[in-house]
C-alpha cells in the first residue's frame, strides 16, 4: 500500500479559489505571499512530509510510547523526523518574522497543515500545539516573555502545550482549582493537576513551555477568576538556556484508541512545593487569552478532520484500483475486475472525494477570512471578524463529523481487509475518532453557534453572511450543467432560513429549544456552506478551463463533477434536518433518566 501523498494540486486549487490569496497578498502585511511563491513552498513542503514524516506514521502507531518517572520516550523514528523538521525550519510558517517566523498568512499555514497531519496525525500535534502557544504569547505575552521564549519555540527546539482540563473540570473550565500564589520576585507558585495534556512530556525538544490556567488566592469564582501562567519544564538560566528542572512532572499517560504515539499526559504541578510560573496577560483574564490558542486549535482540528480523511481516501482509492473482485456489470470482459469499476464502490469514492473538497474549502475560507480581518480596516474588518466568529464552530464540528464519516467509508471500501490492522486504514479511523471530541466537543460547538454566534449584532452578522452566500444562486443562473445543483442550493437556503428563524424565535423564549436542535442545525448550516463553496469551486474550474489554465482539463472537470455530486446527492440531506431542528426539547424529556437506563 502506497505511503501518504500530499495533495498539492488540490491544495493550490483551494488556495486560489476558496483562499482569496490574490486579495490577501495585495496587502502590505502579506505582500511576500504571492501565489507563485506559495506554490513553490507547497511543493517543497509536501515533498518533505511525504519522504520524512509519512514513513514514521505506522511505525509510531505500532511502537507507541513508554512512560517512566523520568519522562516519556517517543518512537525512535520520531526523533530523526523531528530533528529534520527543525533543521528544515517548517515550524515558523505563519509566525512573527520579528522572532524568526516566516510570516505567511493563516490560509497558507492551514493548507500546508494538511501535509503535516495527513503524513502523521500523532506527531503533527506537537507542532500544532506549539504554533498555538506561540500565537498566544505573540498576542498576550510581555516583550520579555516573547524575547525569551518565542525564538526557540518558532524553530521547534522548544515546544508548547495548553493546560485547561482537570479531573473535575472538563469543558466547564470554571470548576478549575489549580492554584497560583504570587511570590516576592513577581513569579507565582503553581499547584494542581491537569489531565489530557497532549505532548505534555516527551523527549523531542529540549524544553516544554506549558501555558496553564490557574486561580490566584482571591480570584472570583467561575471563569471570571481564571488567570493564565507560563510554566516551563526547565527554568531558564541568565543566558536563556534551559537550567534547573521545574516542579512539574508527568505522572502517567493515557492508553488511547488512536494517536498512539501522541503522549496524552497527566501533569502534576507542585509536588515539591510549587512550580514556578509567570502571569501571561492580566490577572483574571486568562480565559480570554487562552481563547486565542483555543480558536486557532479549533480551526486546526477542522483541518485535521480533512487531512486524515484525505489520507484514508488515498488508501481506499489505491485499494479499489488493485483489488480484483466480481465481473464488471455491462462489460464483455471475462474474469474479475478491479472493484473501482463497480457502481457502489464508485459512489463511495466520489462521496468521499466530494466531502473532502467541501471541508477543505470551508477551513480554507475560514483561514482566509481571518487573514482578511487582519489586513482590512474599519467596518470591513469587523465584518470579517464576525465571519470568523460564526464559521469557527462550524468548521471544527462539521469538518470533523464528516472526517469520521469519510474515514469510516474508506474502511468500508476495503471490506474485510479494512478491519485488519495491516491494511493501514484502520489506524486512520482510530486516529480520526478523537477529532469531534477535543478542543470542545462538537455538541459544545453547536451550542456555541446557536447561543453565541447567531445573536451577534442581533442576528445581522449571520444574515449578512447568508445573503452573500445566497448570491451564488444568481451566479449559477444559465450554467446548464449546474442547473440541478442550483435548484438544490436554492432549496437548502430555504431550509436554512426556516431553521434559523425558528431557532432565533424559540431560543429566546426557551433556550432548551435552541439547544435541542443545535447539532442538526450546525450540520444543516455546514452542508449549505459547503454547497456554496463547492458551487464556487465549479465556477472557478469552468473559468480556468475556458482560460486554458495549467491545472489540466481532467483535473478541472473533476472539480466540477465533485461539486455537482455534493450539491445534487449530498446536499438534499438538509430536508431531513429541519424537523430535528424545529421539534423543540419536549420529546427529549418525555422519557426520564431511569427509563433511558433500563434495558
Beta-ladder partners of 72? 67
- Angle between helix axes 35-48 and 76-88 (nearest 10 degrees) is 160
Cell of 379: 467596518
What's the confidence (pLDDT) of residue 549? Answer: 81
- Report how far Cα 458 is from the mean position of its chain's Cα atoms: 28
Cell of 477: 443562473
CB of 35 within 8 A of CB of 22? Answer: yes
What's the confidence (pLDDT) of residue 35? Answer: 97
Consecutive H or E run containing 179:
strand 179-182
Residue written as grid cell 484514508: 312
d(CA 91, CA 109): 10
What's the confidence (pLDDT) of residue 291? Answer: 83
Beta-ladder partners of 160? 209
What's the confidence (pLDDT) of residue 305? Answer: 98
Cell of 273: 512545593
Cell of 403: 472526517
DSSP 114-146: HHHHHH-HHHHHHHHHHHHHHHHHHHHS-HHHH
Tens-place pLDDT, residues 528-575: 999 999 999 999 999 999 998 888 999 999 999 999 999 999 999 999
What's the confidence (pLDDT) of residue 599? Answer: 73
Could you state, in order of their start, the residue ranges of all structural domains in the chain?
449-599
400, 17, 120, 338: CA torsion to nearest 10? 90
The pTM of the full predicted model, rounded to 2 decimals, is: 0.97
Number of neighbours of residue 5 by Cβ within 10 angstroms: 17
Output DSSP code: residue 172. -
Residues in the chain where the model's pLDDT stays below 70 = 1-2
What's the confidence (pLDDT) of residue 2? Answer: 53
Tens-place pLDDT, residues 25-39: 999 999 999 999 999
CB of 442 within 8 A of CB of 396? Answer: yes
Active site residue 439: yes
Which of 114, 439, 544, 568 is flagged as catalytic? 439
CB of 189 within 8 A of CB of 195? Answer: no
Contacts of 439 (CB under 8 A, 6+ apart): 294, 297, 298, 301, 396
Amino acid at each position: 500500500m502506497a505511503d501518504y501523498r500530499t495533495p498539492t494540486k488540490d491544495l493550490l486549487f483551494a488556495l486560489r479559489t476558496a483562499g482569496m490569496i490574490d486579495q490577501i497578498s495585495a496587502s502590505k502585511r502579506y505582500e511576500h505571499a504571492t501565489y507563485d511563491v506559495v506554490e513553490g513552498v507547497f511543493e517543497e513542503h509536501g515533498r518533505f512530509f511525504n519522504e520524512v514524516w509519512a514513513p514514521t506514521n505506522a511505525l509510531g502507531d505500532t511502537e507507541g510510547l513508554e512512560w517512566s518517572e523520568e519522562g516519556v520516550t517517543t518512537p525512535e523514528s520520531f526523533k530523526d523526523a523531528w530533528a529534520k523538521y527543525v533543521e528544515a525550519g517548517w515550524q515558523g510558517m505563519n509566525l512573527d518574522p520579528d522572532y524568526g517566523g516566516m510570516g505567511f498568512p493563516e490560509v497558507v499555514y492551514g493548507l500546508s497543515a494538511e501535509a503535516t497531519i495527513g503524513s502523521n496525525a500523532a506527531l503533527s500535534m506537537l507542532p500544532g500545539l506549539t504554533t498555538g502557544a506561540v500565537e498566544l504569547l505573540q498576542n498576550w505575552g510581555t516583550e520579555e516573555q516573547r524575547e525569551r521564549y518565542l525564538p526557540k519555540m518558532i524553530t521547534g527546539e522548544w515546544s508548547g502545550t495548553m493546560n485547561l482540563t482537570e479531573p473535575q473540570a472538563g469543558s466547564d473550565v470554571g470548576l478549575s482549582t489549580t492554584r497560583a500564589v504570587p511570590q516576592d520576585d513577581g513569579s507565582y507558585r503553581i499547584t494542581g493537576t491537569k489531565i489530557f495534556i497532549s505532548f505534555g512530556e516527551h523527549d523531542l525538544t529540549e524544553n516544554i513551555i506549558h501555558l496553564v490556567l490557574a486561580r490566584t488566592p482571591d480570584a472570583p469564582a467561575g471563569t471570571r477568576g481564571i488567570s493564565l501562567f507560563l510554566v516551563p519544564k526547565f527554568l531558564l538560566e541568565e543566558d536563556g538556556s534551559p537550567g534547573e528542572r521545574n516542579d512539574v512532572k508527568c505522572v502517567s499517560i493515557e492508553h488511547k484508541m488512536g494517536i498512539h504515539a501522541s503522549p496524552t499526559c497527566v501533569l502534576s504541578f507542585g509536588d515539591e512545593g510549587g512550580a514556578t510560573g509567570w502571569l501571561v496577560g492580566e490577572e483574571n483574564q486568562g480565559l480570554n487569552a487562552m481563547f486565542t490558542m483555543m480558536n486557532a486549535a479549533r480551526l486546526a482540528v477542522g483541518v485535521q478532520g480533512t487531512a486524515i480523511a484525505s489520507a484514508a481516501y488515498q488508501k481506499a482509492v489505491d485499494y479499489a484500483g488493485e483489488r480484483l473482485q466480481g465481473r464488471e456489470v455491462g462489460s464483455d470482459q471475462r474474469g474479475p475486475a478491479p472493484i473501482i469499476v463497480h457502481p457502489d464502490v464508485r459512489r463511495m469514492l466520489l462521496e468521499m472525494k466530494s466531502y473532502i473538497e467541501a471541508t477543505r474549502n470551508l477551513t480554507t475560507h475560514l483561514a482566509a477570512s481571518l487573514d482578511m480581518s487582519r489586513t482590512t480596516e474599519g467596518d470591513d474588518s469587523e465584518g470579517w471578524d464576525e465571519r470568523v466568529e460564526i464559521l469557527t464552530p462550524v468548521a471544527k464540528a462539521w469538518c470533523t463529523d464528516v472526517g469520521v464519516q469519510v474515514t469510516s467509508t474508506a474502511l468500508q471500501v476495503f471490506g474485510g481487509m479494512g478491519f485488519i490492522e495491516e491494511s493501514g486504514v484502520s489506524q486512520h479511523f482510530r486516529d480520526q475518532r478523537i477529532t469531534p471530541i477535543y478542543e470542545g466537543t462538537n455538541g459544545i460547538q453547536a451550542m456555541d453557534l446557536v447561543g453565541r454566534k447567531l445573536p451577534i449584532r442581533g442576528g445581522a452578522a449571520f444574515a449578512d453572511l447568508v445573503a452573500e452566500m445566497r448570491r451564488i444562486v444568481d451566479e449559477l443562473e444559465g450554467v446548464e450543467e449546474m442547473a440541478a445543483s442550483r435548484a438544490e442550493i436554492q432549496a437548502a437556503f430555504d431550509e436554512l432560513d426556516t431553521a434559523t428563524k425558528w431557532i432565533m424565535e424559540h431560543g429566546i423564549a426557551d433556550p432548551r429549544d435552541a439547544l435541542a436542535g443545535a447539532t442538526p442545525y450546525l450540520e444543516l448550516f455546514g452542508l449549505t456552506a459547503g454547497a456554496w463553496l463547492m458551487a464556487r469551486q465549479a465556477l472557478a474550474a469552468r473559468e480556468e478551463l475556458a482560460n486554458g489554465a495549467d491545472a489540466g482539463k481532467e483535473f478541472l472537470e473533476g472539480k466540477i463533477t465533485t461539486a455537482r455530486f455534493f450539491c445534487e446527492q449530498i446536499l438534499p440531506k438538509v430536508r431531513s434536518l429541519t424537523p430535528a431542528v424545529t421539534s423543540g426539547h419536549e420529546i427529549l424529556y418525555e422519557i426520564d433518566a431511569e427509563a433511558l437506563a433500563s434495558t
